[in-house]
Amino acid sequence: MHDDHDHDHGSEMSPMVARVRALETVLTEKGYVDPKALDLIVETYETKIGPRNGAQVVARAWTDPAYKARLMKHATAAIAELGFAGMQGEHMVAVENTDVVHNLVVCTLCSCYPLPVLGLPPVWYKSAPYRSRAVLDPRSVLSEFGLNVPASKEIRVWDSTAEIRYLVIPQRPGGTEGWTVEKLATLVTRDSMIGAGLALDPQTSGASA
Amino acid sequence: MNGAHDMGGVMGFGPVVAEKNEPVFHFEWERRVRAMTMAMGAPMGSNIDQGRFAREDRSPSDYLSKTYYELWFAGLTRMLLDRDLVTAEELRAGLSIHPAKPVPRLLKAEDVASVLAKGRSYERTIQQPARFKTGDRVRARNMHPTGHTRLPRYVRGHIGTVMHTHGAHVFPDSNAAGLGEAPQWLYNIRFTGRELWGEAADPAVTLSVDAWESYLEPIL
């Protein structure tokens, strides 16, 4: 499986355009699909579900110790408290980065990803380079993301082989004392909730107290 | 099956390249493939494991030459053809030639929001007690089933530790084959990097998989 979008795999010249259109026409004429239902699925993942959801979970966990305790013990229920639940988030587990452990999530077999909190996965997460190397050499994969984890720090890789979905809780950056949940959430990136990055540094991210 | 989809530890794919400000979809046809695959689960009466197997059950060269959504398209068309819901002739013509077959359910537009928001639990209640408990040392079986399985090759034959019991979950190997859910206890199993990759591996890496009970054997 490769991720080349530059040539004939996706452009308007692609045979895929015609083949997909043909399939949708057949399925619609037969009454198997409702094109409006297809539009709504696309709209949901493009506009309603995305990493903003997960960022709210993380920011709440940073500010509310009781919430964090519930999240670490029963993540699915704690995430549902904030209104995020559903397909590919039925069995959530939260894993926390600390001074001694850095967590990284992968799906070596396909592309399993916690959709209700992160939306659809980026191409790199689904790509052969990531799926093959995140388990063999995670420290060098992280360095390709610009994240240099000290050799002494444990990297804990979670391969999503079942229907359990993992959400990484990144460490709260310093210099954010007294920040609101809403403002903290702006520091929580998608990559930080996969483990491929850290939460943004308030000094360099443009957010200010 | 030992297919190209089982990528853990394979070398030669090059660096991980992240796209800046990546869109959710790159092409309109990808949107439609994603949505059709999700919408056709109900009329096909198919399950998530059958969907995965339809994408991965192909030659390594075929798997590796397709983009992600090309694989989804290939998996969807295969499931439709296998169930005689469409014919190859119809796909070539781009129109319905034969009458529609009766299907168990349809995904209606008004139900999309609730279906996505509800999801589908894979946990089941079983009578049989769990064979393993947290802290147990177990070996991932050296097994090479020809059908769908969720035990990646890179852990097979290796010893790990039970970190958590998730409950009893639908067993993919059976579910993908249409042989029923056959739920089993599901465990999180942690391995050291050195156990999996040898003495030259990073000593501060640990890895875990979620493994069904029949994937595991006790260390006596």
Q: Which residue among B8, B117, B204 places its CB closest to the CB of A153?
A: B204
State whether the Cα torsion B129-B135-B139-B143 is positive or negative: positive
* Contact criterion met (CB below 8 Å) for B34 and B69: yes
Q: Are residues A129 and A148 both part of a single domain?
A: yes
In the stretch 4-33 of chain A, residues with CB closer than 8 A to chain B read 4-5, 9-11, 14, 16-27, 29-33
Min Cα separation B187/chain A (Å): 10
Q: Structurally, how many domains does chain A consist of?
A: 2
CA–CA gap between residue B70 and residue B27 (Å, rounded): 12
d(CA B133, CA A183) in angstroms, rounded, equals 42
Residue A209 placed within a domain: no
User: Is B6 at the interface with chain A, CB within 8 A?
Assistant: yes
- Concerning whether A110 is annotated as a catalytic residue, the answer is yes
Residue A25, domain member (yes or no): yes
**Are both A172 and A69 inside the same structural domain?**
yes
In-domain check, residue A148: yes
* Cβ within 8 Å, pair A37-B166: no
Residues A110, A132, A143, A205: which is the catalytic one?
A110
A30 and A103 co-located in one domain: no
Record: contact B13-A26, CB cut-off 8 A: no
| A61 and A39 within one domain | no
Alpha-carbon gap, residue A165 to A151, rounded angstroms = 27
- Asked about A11 being catalytic, the answer comes back as no
CB contact under 8 Å between B208 and A45, yes or no, is no
For residue A90, tell me if it sits in a domain.
Answer: yes
Structure token pair of residue A188: 């929580």
Alpha-carbon distance A13 to B64, whole Å?
Answer: 21
Residues A26 and A75 in one domain: no
Looking up residue A65, the CATH number of its domain turns out to be 3.90.330.10
Residues A90, A143 contacting (CB under 8 angstroms): no
Residue A8 CB contacts under 8 Å (≥ 6 apart), including other chains: A14, A15
Report how far Cα B88 is from the mean position of its chain's Cα atoms: 26
Could you tell me which of B212, B53, B64, B13 has the C-alpha nearest to residue A131?
A: B13
Same domain, A27 and A93: no
A59 and A157 belong to one structural domain: yes
In a domain, A109, yes or no: yes
Structural domains for chain B: 28-118 (1.10.472.20), 123-218 (2.30.30.50)
Task: Please check whether residues A111 and A139 belong to one and the same domain.
Answer: yes
Does the beta-carbon distance from B152 to A40 stay under 8 Å? no
Q: Which chain A residues have a beta carbon less than 8 Å from that of B207? A: 135, 156-159
Burial of residue A78 (CB within 10 Å: 0-12, 13-18, 19+) is buried
* Domain region containing A83: 51-194
Residue A75 lies in a domain: yes
Q: Contact B109/A122, CB-based, under 8 Å? A: no
Q: Which residues contact A122 (CB under 8 A, 6 or more apart)?
A: A190, B18, B19, B22
- Give yes or no for a contact between A200 and A187, defined as CB atoms under 8 angstroms apart: yes
A25 and A83 housed in the same domain: no
Q: Is residue A60 a part of any domain in this protein?
A: yes
Does ipTM come in above 0.90? yes
User: Which residues on adjacent β-strands are paired with residue B95?
Assistant: none
CA nearest neighbour of B128 among B211, B187, B210, B184: B184
The reply to whether A105 and A29 lie within a common domain is no
A4 found inside a domain: no
- Chain B residues 71-100 with CB within 8 Å of chain A: 71, 73, 76-77, 80, 85-86, 90-96, 100
Phi-psi region of A86 (alpha: psi -120 to 50; beta: other; left: phi over 0): left
Asked if residue A148 and residue A127 are part of one domain, the reply reads yes
Interface A–B counts its CB contacts (< 8 A) at 288
Render pLDDT for B24-60 as a digit per residue (tens, 0 to 9). 999 999 999 999 999 999 999 999 999 999 999 999 9
Residues in chain A with CB shorter than 8 Å from the CB of B113 are: 40, 44
Instruction: Report strand pairing: B159-169 vs B123-124.
Output: antiparallel
| Tens digits of pLDDT across chain A (209 residues) | 666 555 455 555 689 999 999 999 999 999 999 999 999 999 999 999 999 999 999 999 999 999 999 999 999 999 999 999 999 999 999 999 999 999 999 999 999 999 999 999 999 999 999 999 999 999 999 999 999 999 999 999 999 999 999 999 999 999 999 999 999 999 999 999 999 999 999 988 765 54
User: A69 and A122, same structural domain?
Assistant: yes
Show the tokens assigned to B134.
């947290």
The strand pairing partners of A92, in sequence order, are A165
